[in-house]
Amino acid sequence: MEIESISRNHRILIVDDSSAIHEDFKKILVRSSSAGNDFEINDAILFGSSETGNEPDQDFELTSAYQGEEAIVAVREALKAGRPFAMAFVDVRMPPGMDGIETIEKLWQADPDLQVILCTAYSDHSWKDTQKRLGTTDRMVILKKPFEAIEVLQLSSALAEKRCLLELSKLKVRDLEKAVGERTSDLKAANEELRGTQEKLTKFLARNPAVLYSLKFGPKGLIPAWVGDNFASFTGLEVSDWYRQPLEWNFVEAEDRRRVSDSLQTLFARDQVSLEYRIRRRDGVVRWVRDDRQLLRDPAKQPVEIAGCWTDITERKQLEEQLLQSHKMEAFGQLAGGVAHDFNNLLTIVQGYVCLLQENDLPAEERHSNLAAIAKAADRAANLTRQLLAFTRRQVFQPKPTDLNEVITGTSQMMRKLIGESITLGTRLQPGCAGITADQHMLEQVLINLAANARDAMPNGGEIIVTTSLCDKLSEQISQQGETRPGPHVCLSFTDTGCGIAPEHLSRIFEPFFTTKDVGKGTGLGLASVYGIIKQHDGLIEASSRVGKGTTFRIYFPAAPLPASPAGPLNSLMPTCDGSETILVVEDEPDLLELFVTTLQSYGYRVLTESSGVNALRAWPSHRDQIDLLLTDIVMPGGVSGWELAKELQAEKPDLKVVYVSGHSTDFNNLDSGIRLLPKPFDSQTLAGAVRASLDEEEKLPEYAAGVLQS
């Protein structure tokens, strides 16, 4: 129905059995064609209105019905024609048919919105009785006969307007319902599309190797807020475990949790941070991940959420390790000539002094001097061997408090052999400032690689200067190059006077396999290995160079306290090493076995010997109650190692003390605390001290013994 037709609907149904009543309603509600007459004037005076006050403001259209049945038919036909009545005046008594109350009931069944004026001149139908039959309603009013014209006009106008507004509101509601339906349909379609997109995104994230997650800031700190479903395949845990985990993230390796928590300082300072650490899957497999984090802030710049992304970099780490080991071996080959030269010199010293000692007529003072020279040469050879083994060793990252100055000093000899006699090596080390947390062997690798790189840049000779200094605060330019811890840093500067690096190559020198050297002269792995090691130490490296002038590498490590120094002089730490206990010595090298026996017997010990683990197991039952300590090599023929031998014997005699000896660097990895292992070579006093300390059940070997390896 159109709104315009609703506003013009003033159709009224008159239901009364009296024709006179119909005429009265017509006079009141239908405009006359004449300008007025005496009756109208008197009417106006009577009702206190203007002389035309009897004229309605709008022209009502009347329809007459003399019985209830006739009225019902009229209402139905009007509805069918789309022209419903606005209201109906219904007489209460209309004999012989239905009375007004029953008529109204039927009319409302046909048209529930019909407004009704019940006309009555009797008091036998009270409002209470009427309400009881018709119910409580706002669609009906009662007009008492005789009624005034003004009453009829007012009721007609008001109820016509009410019916119009009712129809208009129904139309508005219908339009609104239509709009809501259309909007609901649109939303349903949009939701279906969104659901499909979400399903695609969920499948994509589940198959994506990267894991997205978020952490929100709560009253007590960070709260796990969301994680992708591929968290389960990434860690072997359930997605629900992410929301239950403690804030320290129990799937992160214990050694790396400090690095993860420390990275928050950098995140707050720069709003983003990237770090690498290890996680342990539920099946026990350890994986390396790269964690890229972004800090989200509210309009007031307060942190509200951390959005992160994990990427599995285990294969990359393994490749880096292989590249590092490959470059170690390349550098080791370059060192071989210098090392062979050193060893030949040392052997010449030893052989020469031995020949002199074989002459029986040498004075005692000269014999003592020759023996001291042999001992010094042996110490130099042992130190060189130890450095080479450390240099070529495969090992996990094991940082500890380290004095960078001591590492540089200790590696200087190897660097000099590597660079050759045409290049001088100088150091300018600032005392007391070079404390860092680092893996010493990796630092040695960095220095060796930088030395090799500098040597290749100075084929005609030159100079290398290595310096250390303390930087209280990194410059903004340096800080922007990568993620570093806030606070002071130790700067290692490595400068050469070589040919320099062209500007177009300077930005690529840390890329794996990038090299400017001729084919066969370099792998392009040296500086890439250096870069990886520095990043693993949470450090920064930068390079500056001028063609024809030289190159400077500056490496920045987070500063740390210097490692503690021994409390007193060597001699003050030496307890008495004598004893009378029984020791079982197992060693497959006859000369070493004889040396161990002679040494221990000289200190008063009773010694039993076997040349293999298999033989020791056979002899054990006969001497089990007598033996107090087992001194055994680790790597031996026959299929029974020193580890296995000790395990078998201690299973039968738990209080049996054990001291291991070995010349293999791999035997020193992943040692349990308290295991006593002597790295070859060592002197007789070290051996006796280790045996005595073990028998006395001390917590660890004395410092002079150098036999407890810090794992």
* DSSP structure string for 428-458: EEPTT--EEEE-HHHHHHHHHHHHHHHHHT-
Short-list 441, 398, 404, 396, CA closest to 559:
404
Q: How far apart are CA 215 and CA 232, in angstroms?
A: 17
Q: How far apart are CA 483 and CA 540, in angstroms?
A: 8
**Same fold yes or no, 3-172 and 573-705:** yes
Short-list 102, 94, 108, 109, CA closest to 64:
94
Q: Retrieve residue 171's tokens.
A: 């139309």
> For residues 687 and 702, is the Cβ–Cβ distance under 8 A?
no
Strand, coil or helix: 44: helix
**How far, CA to CA in Å, does 333 sit from each of 455, 491, 526, 532?**
15, 30, 14, 22
Q: How far apart are CA 356 and CA 367, in angstroms?
A: 8
Amino acid at 216: K
Q: Retrieve residue 541's tokens.
A: 């490296």
Short-list 710, 711, 706, CA closest to 383:
706
Instruction: Report DSSP letters for 603-668, one per residue.
Output: TT-EEEEESSHHHHHHHHHHHTTT--EEEEESS-TTS--HHHHHHHHHHH-TT-EEEEEE--GGGG
> For residues 444 and 387, is the Cβ–Cβ distance under 8 A?
yes
Neighbouring residues of 125: CB distance < 8 A, sequence distance ≥ 6: 92, 101
What is the biggest distance separating any 2 CA atoms in the chain, rounded to whole angstroms? 175
Look-up of token digits 């349909």: 185
| Three-state SS annotation for 77-115 | HHHHCCCCCCEEEEECCCCCCCCHHHHHHHHHHHCCCCE
Which CATH superfamily does the domain covering 319-558 fall into? Histidine kinase-like ATPase, C-terminal domain (3.30.565.10)
Q: DSSP class of residue 705? A: G
Short-list 701, 649, 705, CA closest to 675:
701
Burial (CB < 10 A; 0-12, 13-18, 19+), residue 45, is exposed
Statement: 3-172 belongs to CATH 3.40.50.2300: yes
pLDDT of residue 265: 84
pLDDT of residue 507: 78
Q: How far apart are CA 200 and CA 560, in angstroms?
A: 49
Strand, coil or helix: 282: coil
Q: Which residues pair with 531 in a beta bridge?
A: none
pLDDT of residue 647: 92
Residue 610 phi, psi dihedral angles, 5° rounding: -145, 150
Q: Which residues pair with 285 in a beta bridge?
A: none
pLDDT of residue 124: 55
pLDDT of residue 169: 86
Q: Retrieve residue 139's tokens.
A: 């669609």
Q: How many CB atoms lie within 10 A of CB 18?
A: 11
Q: What number of CA atoms fall less than 13 Å from residue 423's CA on the CB side?
A: 28
Provide the pairing of β-strand 677-679 with 61-65.
unpaired
With both helix axes pointing from N to C terminus, report the angle between 38-47 and 149-207 in degrees, rounded to the nearest 10. 70
Short-list 146, 128, 198, 205, CA closest to 20:
146
Strand, coil or helix: 63: strand
Neighbouring residues of 139: CB distance < 8 A, sequence distance ≥ 6: 108, 113, 114, 115, 116
Q: Quick one: CATH architecture of 211-312?
A: 2-Layer Sandwich (3.30)
Q: How far apart are CA 580 and CA 603, in angstroms?
A: 8
Q: pTM higher than 0.75 for the full model? A: no
Q: How far apart are CA 46 and CA 40, in angstroms?
A: 10
pLDDT of residue 570: 34
Short-list 158, 140, 135, 148, CA closest to 92:
140
Q: Retrieve residue 681's tokens.
A: 């070579």
Average pLDDT across each block of 10 residues of the chain; the chain has 711 residues. List them in order.
56 92 90 54 46 60 93 93 91 86 92 90 68 82 87 88 84 89 88 79 68 84 83 83 70 84 85 89 89 91 90 86 68 60 73 73 77 78 62 59 92 87 92 87 88 90 94 64 72 93 82 59 64 85 91 92 56 63 93 89 94 93 94 89 92 93 60 70 85 75 36 28
Q: How far apart are CA 87 and CA 2, in angstroms?
A: 19
- Helix, strand, coil abundance in the chain, percent, nearest 5: 45, 20, 35
> For residues 536 and 398, is the Cβ–Cβ distance under 8 A?
no
Neighbouring residues of 583: CB distance < 8 A, sequence distance ≥ 6: 600, 605, 606, 607, 608, 627, 628, 629, 630, 631, 691
Look-up of token digits 């009502």: 60
Q: DSSP class of residue 498? A: S
Amino acid at 596: F
Look-up of token digits 């009545």: 85
Strand, coil or helix: 173: helix
Q: Retrieve residue 591's tokens.
A: 């000369």
Short-list 322, 335, 330, CA closest to 515:
330
| CATH of 573-705 given 3.40.50.2300, 3.40.718.10, 3.20.140.10, 3.40.50.300 | 3.40.50.2300
Q: How many CB atoms lie within 10 A of CB 312?
A: 16
Q: How far apart are CA 267 and CA 306, in angstroms?
A: 9
Provide the pairing of β-strand 115-120 with 87-91.
parallel
Q: Which residues pair with 296 in a beta bridge?
A: 305
Q: How far apart are CA 411 and CA 362, in angstroms?
A: 38
Strand, coil or helix: 350: helix
Please report, for the chain, the start and end positions of each structural domain, with discontinuous segments joined by +.
3-172, 211-312, 319-558, 573-705
